[in-house]
């Protein structure tokens, strides 16, 4: 999960309290969330949902509250539903450095490693949700879609690892190293797909971690 800076004022259509998924709401959320599902970090998912961070129930104010609307893919929305209410709010705090995410190293990786780094309820619940998102196999559908998601993550992180390996080659010129650092910066930006995974790979590196951590806002 990644930090989101929500824009204001709220989309005008919300004031009518007729629908919370108007075109202006979609456009505003796409901008705020960089076109990414806020949970799994898939970029430009094929099936987009506008999710209520806190379940709306019969609460009209909550249903049309701009601060309660989040961009998610349909899969993550289905997994979260109302079962994971007490999760970290990516619009209020950095989440990536509270839950450690590390990918597998094969396109057919069996598991992604999800580690809660703090003991508070919100962090623990967020880790449980991410574990379910990336590793669930309780139904055949979830098993197949989580495997496909892990493949996407690994394809992205392998590009980063390729850059890291080239950076450390003895015959890599200084100018090329600078170029590779710039490429790594692009992959750890909040708007990049699976940026949290890329950040944790970098943070595990003794040399690159201190160089690139200042760019992990």
Sign of CA dihedral 212, 116, 151, 34: negative
Domain ranges for the chain, please list them.
12-215
The CA-based angle 214-44-42, given to 5 degrees, is 60
Asked whether the predicted pLDDT for residue 214 surpasses 80, the reply is yes
Place 200 in a pLDDT band, splitting at 50, 70 and 90: very high
Residues 55-88: tens digit of each pLDDT: 988 889 999 999 999 999 999 999 998 789 899 9
> In the chain, count of helices (H) and strands (E)?
8, 4
Average pLDDT over residues 158-184: 98
pTM of the complete model: 0.94
Residue 73, strand partner residues: 48
Tell me the backbone φ, ψ of residue 43, rounded to 5 degrees: -90, 130
What tens digit of pLDDT does each residue of 27-39 get?
999 999 999 999 9
Contacts of 87 by beta carbon, 8 Å cutoff, 6+ apart: 80, 122, 125, 126, 129
């Amino acid at each position: 999960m990644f930090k989101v800076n929500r824009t204001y004022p709220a989309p005008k259509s919300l004031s009518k309290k007729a629908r919370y998924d108007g075109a202006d709401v979609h456009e505003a959320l796409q901008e705020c969330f960089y076109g990414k599902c806020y949970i799994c970090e898939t970029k430009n998912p094929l099936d987009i949902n506008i999710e209520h961070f806190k379940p709306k129930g019969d609460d009209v104010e909550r249903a049309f509250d701009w601060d309660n609307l989040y961009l998610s893919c349909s899969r993550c929305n289905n997994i979260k539903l109302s079962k994971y209410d007490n999760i970290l709010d990516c619009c209020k705090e950095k989440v990536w450095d509270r839950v450690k995410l590390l990918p597998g190293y094969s396109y057919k990786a069996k598991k992604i490693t999800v580690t809660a780094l703090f003991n508070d309820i919100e962090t623990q619940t967020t880790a449980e949700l991410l574990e379910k998102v990336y590793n669930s196999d309780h139904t055949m559908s979830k098993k197949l879609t989580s495997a496909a998601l892990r493949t996407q993550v690994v394809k992205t992180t392998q590009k980063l690892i390729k850059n890291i390996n080239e950076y450390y080659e003895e015959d890599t010129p200084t100018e090329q190293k600078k170029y590779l650092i710039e490429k790594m910066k692009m992959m750890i930006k909040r708007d990049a797909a699976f940026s949290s995974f890329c950040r944790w790979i970098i943070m595990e590196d003794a040399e690159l971690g201190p160089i690139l951590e200042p760019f992990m806002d």
